[in-house]
Structure 1
Amino acid sequence: MSQAGSNATSAPRLVIAGGGLAGLSLALALKQALGDSLGVVMCDPALQRDPHGDTRAFAIAAAARRMLEAIGIWHKVAPKAQPILDMVITDSRLQDPVRPTFLTFEGEVGEGEAFAHMVTAGDLTVALIAACETSGVDLRAEAVESFQTRAAHTDVKLAGGEILPAALLVAADGGRSRLREQAGIGWISWPYGQSGIVATILHERDHEGRAVEHFLPSGPFAILPLKSETLVDGTVKHRSSIVWSERTENVAGLLEADSADLLTELERRFGLQLGRIAFETPPYAYPLSFGVARSFVGDRLALLGDAAHVIHPIAGQGLNLGLHDAAALAEIVADAMRLGQDPGSGEVLEAYERARRTDITAMGLVTDGLNRLFSNDWLPVRLVRDLGLGVVDRMPALKRFFIREAAGLTTREPPRLLKGEKL
């Protein structure tokens, strides 16, 4: 593994604590942009695990896909990625015999470019790790235990006791970030009283690239298309990922139910439009909440991804926000170093804070508001929101705006990577 120097004549070092998709993307983008002029160390015990079995599915918006293309990994995952060709939104109660469609989205954000693709975390992680190794990122399968900021660097202590002097530490260690807490950065949060049940579902008929979002009183239920698989005997497996938002008090009973009973509950939400259904992966649940850091930076510290913000999955934008963080921080650090500036200086970190605060705040407010609006069975609210959905559905220009918003293409001054440009 490559070792970045720690004395005054060596290249500065950047340490990333957390080997998730946003952290790996940042590491790769920086090494490609700066080469040996910056040592990049990625620390996470999870790096010793085989990522191939990670079946979690994510919607990669068009802007994030352009970034993955710019850092040279999209071609590796594209054969397994499923483009979302259109989306249908309904609003109903669970017992309603018919779920009327109030809003549909379809079309492309560019010629031959879908507004989003579904990709598994395993496929993305495998491609990113391989590219990081090739580019010279120092991958360490151990955790960052603590850090201590000095005048011109920060001492990053690993779980094994090694201390790495670094110009900048990036905390990408999740919503319960220990490094954020150690830095004394406040966290504004509240629970939704909902949990997200996630699983991969097999179904008889082809989804034809359609995503479906059912707004139900207990929370949104999303059906997201995955790439079909052709088996050696010629059989085709049609698959989708579900994100089933449910009141937390109901979740334990659902997951502990007999498999046939759970499948019956799933069918009530999934519907019969794709034929018979079955679980391909066991369902699991996690609590849903909102959270945002009071600051995205500290002394020689930058927060990335869930360590900086956690939002409701109603719009599928959680990972995309993290990739936007990585694109912004990579560009700011790369540009600063090319001008001979300290990558961990206050000026660099303030630029990152400015670049991300508005976008994250806006997305947090939108997802929070949508969840509160649609997880509500009060008749006057239902009438108003359904009227609003109907109005949007009849205005092509407004629908195009929302498609570009979902694709991550409405940011006023997006980082170069999100435009598909190399650093």
Structure 2
Amino acid sequence: MTDDTRDLVILGGGLVGMTLALTAARQGISSHVVDRADPADLLAEGFDGRASAISTASWNLFTNIGLADQLEQHASPIASIAVNDQMKPGAIDFTPQPGEGSLGRMFANQELRRALFSAASEEPLIAWHDKAEVTRRERGPHGVSATLHDGQVLTGSLMVAAEGRGSPTREEAGLVMAKWDYSHRAIIAGLTHEKPHNQVAWEIFYPAGPFALLPMLDLPDGSHRSSLVWTVDEKDAAGTLKLSDRAFLAEVQKRMGDVLGAVTSVGERSSYPLGFHHTAKITDDRLVLIGDAAHGIHPIAGQGLNLGLRDVGALVDVISGGMRLGLEPGDAQLLAKYENWRGLDSFMVALATDGLTRLFGIPGKAASAARRLGMSGVQRTPLLKNWFMDEARGVNGDIPELLQA
């Protein structure tokens, strides 16, 4: 059976893929969205304890596609970012001046999904195929198609791979990828704690990796809450995950000191391995890679999802502009423009993140002292501090119009 032909065939309906579908729809661009997951499972309580820092630029995107009102009530603003090395003297305090706004917003991934799924289900320009497996992908001179496990054939002008780090579409296309493993694992958990976080995000660096405390909304009973992202050596990960709640909290408390007072409880723990990957090209004939299918970075700076949302804004900008000139979404000229725009920018962000990861991972007192000296220098240099804050907001560089206020 053949379904209607649409402009885009988006393979992957996660946060980046579904944001692309909605953003495209707001510009009159139709799409098929295919995802193997069951939305009910993704929205079930306790499915995913992960949270995401949404930069100012990414928030502009959500505002421009009409999601801000629905999401705002679930946002915990990031008023300040405190960075230090092993809780020792010599740190950076990134705090905007009054009137400059926050450095971003924290959301539970579940709330982002809920808003995206709700909007997508009401958008006629999106044909959403959930619980679906792709059994065949074809790209030719006149269009693309994806055959589903039930025999349904979805056709369009451009195929978009948004399946994440293990993208089968990218692998099938044979796109060359640089990759390496950090031999580290990120442990994710929700914490409740004694003191309010005052909307401060903490990034505490240890030789094994960063230890981040990200401000979340208080619970309805007034309990203060933060999201923990703790990087550990891969060889220590299994043992850390198996610790009792009491022992786990003791280890957490040791690393965070008294910044949030006593930690009173920990939610369900999850983890994922950390690595770097970046494709040499993010386009092919009638194919575009976005999000983690194109680039995977260390969560040290919280820019992974924001990098994917920047892909979304740029791709829709390029396609909508081309369609106004009479070009189809899969036109080679448009794909070349997207490649030139996003290929270098995403690669530079990925390299900078990798460099930061390696710099703060150098062990020893001398390395720690050098890092703290450098951070003290940044703390005393307003121009540098402002540049770093603009990077955190995602407003440096060539910003797609959809990510502008």
Give TM-score scaled by structure 2 length: 0.95
Could you tell me how far 1:215 is from its partner in structure 2?
Answer: 0.7
Counterpart AA for 1:168: L
Q: 2:353 matched to which residue of 1?
A: 367
Q: How many Å apart are 1:113 and its aligned residue?
A: 2.4
Alignment check: 8 A CA contact 1:194 1:248 kept: yes
Given that residues 4 and 40 in structure 1 are in contact (C-alpha distance below 8 angstroms), is that contact kept between their aligned partners in structure 2? no
Q: Do 2:4 and 2:154's aligned partners in 1 also have CA atoms closer than 8 Å?
A: no
Question: Structure 1 residues 244-253 or 41-50, which shifts more?
Answer: 41-50
Contact 1:228 1:237 (8 Å CA) reproduced? yes
CA distance in 2, matches of 1:43, 1:21: 13
Deviation at 1:383, TM superposition (A): 2.6
Gaps of 5+ in 2: none
Q: 1:324 to 1:30 in 2, by over 3 A?
A: same
Deviations 1:238-276 (A, max 9, x none): 100011011110111111123322221111112223222
Map of 1:128 onto structure 2: 116
Task: Give CA-to-partner distance per residue, 1:162-210, whole Å, 9 cap, x none.
Answer: 1112111100001011000111111110001111011110001110001
Q: Secondary structure at the match of 2:345?
A: helix
Aligned pair 1:392/2:352, yes or no?
A: no
What SS is found at the alignment partner of 1:182? helix
Q: C-alpha separation between the residues in 2 aligned to 1:324 and 1:134?
A: 24
Give the superposition deviation at 1:112. 5.8
Per the alignment, in what secondary structure is the counterpart of residue 62 of structure 2? helix
- Structure 1 residue corresponding to 2:107, chosen from 106, 116, 119: 119
Aligned counterparts of 1:180 and 1:278: Cα–Cα separation in 2: 44
Aligned to 2:53, which of 52, 59, 71? 59
Q: What SS does the corresponding residue of 1:191 show, helix, strand or coil?
A: strand
CA contact (8 A) 1:89 1:101 kept: no
Note the 1:395-406 alignment, pairs <5 A: 395-406=381-392
Contact 1:311 1:367 in 2 (8 A): yes
Structure 1 segments (4+ residues) deviating >4 Å: none
2:143 pairs with 1:143: no
Q: Does structure 1 residue 418 correspond to structure 2 residue 398?
A: no
> Structure 1 pair 274/331, CA: closer, same or farther in 2 (3 Å)?
same
**1:4 Cα deviation from its structure 2 partner:** 6.8
Q: Percent identity?
A: 36
- What CA distance in whole angstroms lies between the structure 1 residues aligned with 2:71 and 2:137? 35
Match of 1:337 among 320, 323, 344: 323
Task: Describe the SS at the equivalent of 2:4.
Answer: coil
Cα distance change of structure 1 residues 24 and 269 upon mapping to structure 2, 3 Å threshold: same
Residue from 39, 43, 61 that aligns with 2:34: 43
Q: Per-residue CA shift, 1:273-331, capped at 9, x if unaligned? A: 32221444211111100000111011111101000000000000000000000111111
Q: How does 1:15-94 map to 2 (within 5 A)?
A: 15-34=9-28, 38-52=29-43, 53=45, 54-92=48-86
- Say if 2:251 is the partner of 1:265: yes
Alpha-carbon distance between aligned partners in 2 of 1:192 and 1:133, rounded to the nearest angstrom: 38
CA drift at 1:134: 2.0
Shift of residue 111, structure 1, vs aligned partner? 3.5
**AA paired with 2:16?**
A
d(CA) in 2 for partners of 1:312, 1:139: 31
Query: 1:305 corresponds to which letter in structure 2?
Result: G
Q: How does 1:197-212 map to 2 (within 5 A)?
A: 197-212=187-202
For 2:10 and 2:42, locate their aligned partners in 1 and report how far apart those are by CA, in whole Å: 19
Distance 1:300 1:327 in 2: 18
Say whether the 8 Å CA contact 2:182–2:275 is kept in structure 1: yes
Pairing 1:292–2:286 present: no
Q: TM-score, normalised by structure 1?
A: 0.91
| CA gap 1:134/1:266 in 2 versus in 1, 3 angstroms | same
**Quick one: which amino acid aligns to residue 238 of structure 1?**
H
Number of residues of Structure 1 aligned to a counterpart in Structure 2: 399
Quick check: 1:195–1:246 contact (8 Å CA) kept in 2? Answer: yes
Aligned pairs for 1:375-390 within 5 A = 375-390=361-376
1:323-370 residue CA offsets vs partner (Å, 9 max, x unmatched):
000111111111111111011011111111111112111111111111
SS of the aligned residue for 1:24 comes to helix
Per mean C-alpha deviation after superposition, the further-off stretch among 262-271 and 189-198 is 262-271
Distance 1:47 1:63 in 2: 30
Aligned: 1:106 with 2:95: yes
Cα distance between partner residues in 2 of 1:239 and 1:88: 17
Which secondary structure state, in structure 1, belongs to the residue aligned with residue 73 of structure 2? helix
Shift of the alpha carbon at 1:45? 2.2
Alpha carbons 1:5, 1:13 under 8 Å: kept: no
Aligned equivalents of 1:158, 1:101: Cα separation in 2: 56
Name the CA distance, whole Å, in 1 between partners of 2:226 and 2:90: 20
The one-letter amino acid paired with 1:245 is T
Q: Secondary structure at the match of 1:229?
A: coil
Alignment partners' CA distance in 1, 2:385 and 2:239: 39
Q: Are the aligned partners of 1:87 and 1:210 in contact in 2 as well (CA < 8 Å)?
A: yes
Report the counterpart of residue 393 of structure 2 in structure 1: 407
CA contact (8 A) 1:47 1:140 kept: no
